[in-house]
Chain A
């Protein structure tokens, strides 16, 4: 196995100082990753990730393909359970935990997922259900909302993403951008503590990227806590309160707003200049 860090870490050794403390919100973090590691067989894709996400914060994770950024995101809702390390959401431990901390009471994955929303690269709408039913199904089955109320709330959610007129359409009748907006509405109606975005625009035609980004912008303005894995660095620069550059399963550098113009690590600079 190769060394845990191939690139000298700039700041990730001390999560407290990640980014610029002056800009970071105080109080307990909504999501806290400490020394998260993940292996697929012999391949270690996450080599000790530290990350704190505070309430209302918009965290952008970027980096080259295969850097582990999607895996970090997917470990937050345990779609990829970490091999080791601590994952705390709203103060509850959901990961294997850290060695020194003894037996902490663990939360259930189901409870975790009910407080963490996710938007996928490939939308993952349910193709046999209308747009409205896609939003409605989790409301009814997860929150136990009655049919009439669930439909009202779903219609309202679709209206907010501008897709109410398409409520009776099936995913196959919607464009990629529209499908992704329905997916955002579906995640939003469950009122999550934090919303994860896994490359939400990567599967879209270039001309459809804008509408999804503007919906995300609106969600951000509502004060939603967001963790966004993206290649859209222009959008990241605009929205990111905390920016995380990853490569080879480690966090190379993190920084606050303005990070894209002020990053110090030569690898980060090289990546940003190649993409932006």
Chain B
């Protein structure tokens, strides 16, 4: 590798200015990485929830789901994207764009991870919640969407955030199919400038920055979903709902049963 042989030997030879000069290319790479990850996250969440439900359901389907989950949790992203781009495309006789291949590769892996996250979140909901829904005469589908899912989502959210950060990092392996994400951009720049240390450090900084931002965003979402008295933010965002209920309270006649406080 010529780039490695030409590694500068003294710190003075590090040219940090090239990071700033090439900022738009790097940021475009980051944007691509985020786009692939975000689309894959949405798909993985839907697939993952489905997998979790199948996994918790009847055999033999639950076994199939368990096998899928255990296989794809172990497959490296690099292998996954090669399977999709060179293997799956051949089998299905479709040619995927590098973007599509990246999304599919990530979705295959992360639906398996998210299935386990959703499964443990669903299991964490007390049995009495479903029983209350049943006793009220609600249909199982309605119980799932109105009672179980909202509570499970809240429990799963911090881990989903972690998965998203992992997905963004895993896009770095998609350089192998030529996706212009952060690492691919970095490699291209290294080939021109022979500054691998500087450029890869800059790339790492971008990933760390994204991790911070995503962490913040997911915490925000978490706090928003949290019910009072926790989470001051949630109280503010629920203001409209609160005012609606207050109007109902004011509209009701003030008489109350004497026995009640």
Task: Determine if A124 and B229 form an interchain contact, defined as CB atoms under 8 angstroms apart.
Answer: no
Tell me the minimal C-beta distance from A167 to chain B in angstroms.
Answer: 5
| Interface 0/1 of A117-139, CB less than 8 Å to B | 11010101111101010000110
Within residues 236 to 256 of chain B, which ones have a CB less than 8 A from any CB in chain A? Answer: 241-242, 245-246, 248-249, 251-253, 255-256
Task: Determine if B260 and A162 form an interchain contact, defined as CB atoms under 8 angstroms apart.
Answer: yes
Tell me the minimal C-beta distance from A73 to chain B in angstroms.
Answer: 11
Which among A29-37, A149-157, A232-240 touches the partner chain? Answer: A149-157
- Interface residue range, chain B: 35 or more
Task: Determine if A161 and B137 form an interchain contact, defined as CB atoms under 8 angstroms apart.
Answer: no
CB closest residue in chain B, given A119: B135
* A113 and B137 in contact, given A124-B132, A127-B227, A164-B252 (Cβ under 8 angstroms): yes
* A165 and B249 in contact, given A113-B137, A214-B259 (Cβ under 8 angstroms): yes
| Interface 0/1 of A52-79, CB less than 8 Å to B | 0000000000000000000000000101
Which residues on the B side are within 8 Å of A167 (C-beta)? Answer: 245, 248-249
Task: Determine if A141 and B257 form an interchain contact, defined as CB atoms under 8 angstroms apart.
Answer: no
Within 8 Å of chain A (Cβ to Cβ): is B139? Answer: yes
Which residues on the B side are within 8 Å of A181 (C-beta)? Answer: 260
Task: Determine if B248 and A132 form an interchain contact, defined as CB atoms under 8 angstroms apart.
Answer: yes
Within residues 63 to 121 of chain B, which ones have a CB less than 8 A from any CB in chain A? Answer: none
Which residues on the B side are within 8 Å of A168 (C-beta)? Answer: 241-242, 245-246, 249
Within 8 Å of chain B (Cβ to Cβ): is A170? Answer: yes
Which residues on the A side are within 8 Å of B257 (C-beta)? Answer: 160-162, 218
Contact of A120 among B132, B151, B154, B245 (CB under 8 A): B132
Secondary structure call for the B interface: helix
CB closest residue in chain A, given B246: A168
| Interface 0/1 of A81-121, CB less than 8 Å to B | 00000000000000000000000000000100110111010
Within 8 Å of chain A (Cβ to Cβ): is B261? Answer: yes
Within residues 131 to 189 of chain B, which ones have a CB less than 8 A from any CB in chain A? Answer: 131-132, 134-139, 142, 146-147, 150-151, 154
Which residues on the A side are within 8 Å of B228 (C-beta)? Answer: 169-170, 172-173
Cα of A187 to Cα of B132 in the assembled complex, Å: 10
Give the size of the chain A interface in residues (CB under 8 angstroms). Answer: 47
Task: Determine if B256 and A113 form an interchain contact, defined as CB atoms under 8 angstroms apart.
Answer: no
| Interface 0/1 of A178-200, CB less than 8 Å to B | 00010000110010000000000
Cα of A125 to Cα of B133 in the assembled complex, Å: 10
* A190 and B245 in contact, given A141-B142, A172-B228 (Cβ under 8 angstroms): no
Which residues on the B side are within 8 Å of A118 (C-beta)? Answer: 132, 135
Within 8 Å of chain A (Cβ to Cβ): is B201? Answer: no
Within 8 Å of chain A (Cβ to Cβ): is B60? Answer: no
Task: Determine if A128 and B154 form an interchain contact, defined as CB atoms under 8 angstroms apart.
Answer: yes
Task: Determine if B260 and A128 form an interchain contact, defined as CB atoms under 8 angstroms apart.
Answer: no
Task: Determine if B261 and A162 form an interchain contact, defined as CB atoms under 8 angstroms apart.
Answer: yes
* A172 and B227 in contact, given A120-B128, A124-B129 (Cβ under 8 angstroms): yes
Which residues on the A side are within 8 Å of B259 (C-beta)? Answer: 162, 211, 214-215, 217-218
Contact of A161 among B138, B142, B260 (CB under 8 A): B260
Contact of A128 among B132, B150, B241 (CB under 8 A): B150
CB closest residue in chain B, given A196: B135
CB closest residue in chain B, given A141: B142
Which residues on the B side are within 8 Å of A120 (C-beta)? Answer: 128, 131-132, 135
Cα of A128 to Cα of B126 in the assembled complex, Å: 13
Task: Determine if A214 and B260 form an interchain contact, defined as CB atoms under 8 angstroms apart.
Answer: yes
Cα of A215 to Cα of B256 in the assembled complex, Å: 12
Task: Determine if B252 and A159 form an interchain contact, defined as CB atoms under 8 angstroms apart.
Answer: yes
Tell me the minimal C-beta distance from B146 to chain A in angstroms.
Answer: 6
A binding-site residues for B, Cβ under 8 Å: 77, 79, 110, 113-114, 116-118, 120, 122, 124-128, 130, 132, 137-138, 141-142, 151-152, 155-156, 159-165, 167-170, 172-173, 181, 186-187, 190, 211, 214-215, 217-218
Instruction: Supply 24 A–B pairs (Cβ within 8 Å), ascending by A.
Output: A110-B139, A118-B135, A120-B131, A125-B132, A126-B129, A126-B151, A127-B151, A128-B225, A137-B146, A141-B142, A142-B136, A142-B138, A155-B252, A156-B252, A162-B259, A162-B260, A164-B249, A164-B252, A168-B241, A169-B228, A172-B230, A214-B260, A215-B260, A218-B259
Query: 3 closest pairs, A vs B, by CB?
Result: A162-B260, A114-B137, A124-B132
11 more CB-based (< 8 A) A-B contacts, given A159-B255, A167-B248, A214-B260: A77-B134, A124-B129, A127-B151, A128-B150, A128-B225, A137-B146, A159-B256, A162-B260, A162-B261, A165-B249, A168-B246
